[in-house]
Structure 1
Amino acid sequence: MTSVGEKQHYTLALIQRLTEHIPDDMLVGLLYDIGCQLERSWRKFKFFDNSQCVFYFILFYSPLIL
């Protein structure tokens, strides 16, 4: 989780801080370019007990050429 490539712990720390300051019944949608990796770490390390966040994945990994 702290590998040089992604540094997911920064993102997870920000999300944790966000969930501390919003009501428990509020749902947060997250769009992140490495969402698939982030959600896997989120669930693997059990950062949060509640499911306040929903992850959305970006489908375009290749550059857009016009």
Structure 2
Amino acid sequence: MRVSADEDKCCGAGQCVLIAPEVFDQREEDGIVAVLQEDPPAEQHAAVREAASVCPAAAIELEE
């Protein structure tokens, strides 16, 4: 799995960080998503998929 995020779409809701904090964080200055692990381990895949599905701005992109 490959994870990326469209910073221009991100609205800073932070749901991704709550669901998968090992993979996502938010920038201090504006709350925009930061991807910590572009290639997360298999045990994180379910959380990453959930984070992508609940993102209100659809800013998280996954390549399986």
- Report the TM-score when normalising by structure 1: 0.31
Higher relative contact order (CA 8 A, sep 6+): 2
More strand, by proportion: 2
